[in-house]
Amino acid sequence: MKRWLFVLPFVLAACSSDLAAPTSVMSDATPAKASSGTCTVNGTTYSRGFDANGYNRCAGNFNGTGSSWCVAGGQAADCMGIYSADKLVMKWNDAWDACNALGTPEACAGAWNDNEWNGMGKGGSGAVWHYKTVWSATCAAGLTPTDGGYCIWGAYEVLMDQGKDPNLGPGHIWYAHAKPNGYGS
């Protein structure tokens, strides 16, 4: 479950090792205000608020289940197997959108996302996991972070990767715990 969850927002992405951020179902470009009831993301206009699958692209937020994430990505509702009924919250900032659109170090600086998984509800898997990911000049340069994180997708650092999953064994597991563990300014 641990590795499966981390790639969850990007399963549909074609990841590369260059500076470009993985294009995902989460966001496409920097949102621009079109009117009070809509926003524009990479030339597409979205209604403000959450859609039927749990995405609020104007706010950089997803609040749904593994199943609703699957459906939003054009997959079968049970594409996450035993984790499909689990709750999922994903958040990302405008720099994440800009990085997805432009892929330049200037656009990517400060880009972050946060994924929180909760399978403790009725019918859930019992897994609880939390990830923090940021764009990293260190990772983009092909270097290894020395502060407790790890690189993924070439230019991103996982600052925090921790949780529990009864399918992986008992107890709490930490795969990454970078210091500092915040997103920066």
The pLDDT of residue 185 is 52
Residues of the chain with pLDDT under 70: 1-35, 42, 185
pTM (two decimals): 0.76
92 beta partners: 113
- Specify the pLDDT at position 54: 96
Answer whether residue 185 is part of any domain.
no
pLDDT at 182: 78
Tell me the torsion sign for CA atoms 88, 63, 56, 133: negative
Q: Is 183 domain-assigned?
A: no
Q: Which two tokens stand for residue 142?
A: 């092909």
Rounded Cα distance, 61 and 93, in Å: 9
Asked if residue 143 is part of any domain, the answer here is yes
Q: Is residue 172 part of a domain?
A: yes
Confidence at residue 23, expressed as pLDDT on a 0 to 100 scale: 36
Spatial separation of the C-alpha atoms in residues 48 and 185, rounded to whole Å: 26
For residue 5, the model assigns a pLDDT of: 43
Find the domain containing 30 and state its range.
Answer: 2-177
Assigned domain for 184 exists: no
Instruction: Tell whether 127 is covered by a domain.
Output: yes
Tokens of 135: 């764009």
Per-residue tokens: 185: 């300014």
- DSSP helix/strand/coil, 75: coil
28 membership: H or E segment, kind and range: none
The structural domain count of the chain equals 1
Residue 182 lies in a domain: no
In a domain, 40, yes or no: yes
pLDDT of residue 100: 84
CB 1 within 8 A of CB 129: yes
pLDDT of residue 44: 78
Return the SS3 of 82.
helix
Burial of 74 by CB count in 10 Å (0-12 exposed, 13-18 middle, 19+ buried)? exposed
Query: What span, in angstroms and rounded, lies between the C-alpha atoms of 124 and 87?
Result: 8
